[in-house]
Amino acid sequence: MSDVAAHDPREHPAPEHTRPDGTTDAEVAAVGKLSEALETVERARGHLFGFHQLIGHADRQLGEAVDALRDAGHRDLAAAVEADLLGRNVLPGRWTFQVVEEFDDDYWEPFRTWDRAVRDAVLGGRRHVYESEMKEARRTHGRPGHESRPTEES
């Protein structure tokens, strides 16, 4: 890296992405693993919301199917399907919005709280230190398209 590039702020991680003085590799790795686990939970939460929306859509489609059965002259069959299946709970006492709320309250929020608490205790609240160090090790320093961080204008 040239002297000019060495003094370019884009060639160094932003302070919020650097490890605090005295932080060990083991600490950075441990916090990185916890954050990676949270990212997996975030993906699972996205799937849970997908499930929530798909079930809601299916229930509306079921309502249309019941109406179509009724219109086709199958009133008793339509009434039976409607009574047993339309608006049915997906789990005992729960529609999917309740499943999502319980997941958020009982698992997702505590997970996020612990991720933040550990990050605060070990890394002074800094996020993605592990990834920032990985980026610094992998990028080609001084090469366009490989800057450590965006310009102030970006």
Q: DSSP labels for 60-105?
A: HHHHHHHHHHHHTT-HHHHHHHHHHTTT--SBTTB-HHHHHHHHII
Q: Following CA atoms 138, 21, 30, 109 in sequence, which dihedral angle do they give, to the nearest 10 degrees? A: -110
Burial class (CB in 10 A: 0-12, 13-18, 19+), 40: exposed
Averaged in consecutive runs of 10 residues, what is the pLDDT profile of the chain (154 residues)?
66 89 96 97 98 98 98 98 98 98 98 98 95 93 91 67
Residue pair 19/133 in contact (Cβ under 8 Å)? The answer is: yes
pLDDT value at residue 7: 72
Q: What is the pLDDT of residue 9?
A: 77
The single-letter DSSP state of residue 18 is S
62, 86 Cβ separation under 8 angstroms: yes
What's residue 66's pLDDT? 98
pTM: 0.84
Give pLDDT, residue 5.
59
Residue 30 has a pLDDT of 97
